[in-house]
Amino acid sequence: MSVEDLLKEKIRQEGRVISDDILKVDSFLNHQIDPVLMLKVGDEFARRFSNSGITKVLTVEASGIAVALMTGLALQVPVVFAKKKQPSTMGGDTYCGQVRSFTKEEVIEIVVAGSYLSAEDRVLIIDDFLASGAAARGLLRIIDQAGATLVGVGTVIEKVFQSGGESLREKGIRVESLVQIGSLSGGMIEFLN
pLDDT tens, 34-79?
999 999 999 999 999 999 999 999 999 888 999 999 999 999 999 9
Residue 14, CB-side half-sphere exposure with 13 Å CA sphere: 15
| pTM beyond 0.75, yes or no | yes
CB count within 10 Å of CB 158 equals 27
The residue segments making up the domain with residue 30 are: 3-86+93-191
Give the pairing of strands 175-183 and 190-191: antiparallel
The number of distinct structural domains making up the chain is 1
130 three-class SS? strand
Give the E-state strand segments of 102-191 in sequence order: 106-113, 122-130, 149-159, 175-183, 190-191
The secondary structure of the chain in percent helix, strand, coil, rounded to multiples of 5, reads 35, 30, 35
The candidate with the shortest Cα–Cα distance to 138, out of 93, 92, 95, 77, is: 95
CA 67 to CA 42: how far, in whole Å? 6
The candidate with the shortest Cα–Cα distance to 125, out of 148, 105, 94, is: 148
pLDDT tens, 87-124?
A: 656 567 889 888 887 666 788 889 999 999 999 999 99
The enclosing domain of 128 has a CATH number of: 3.40.50.2020
First to last CA, the chain: 15
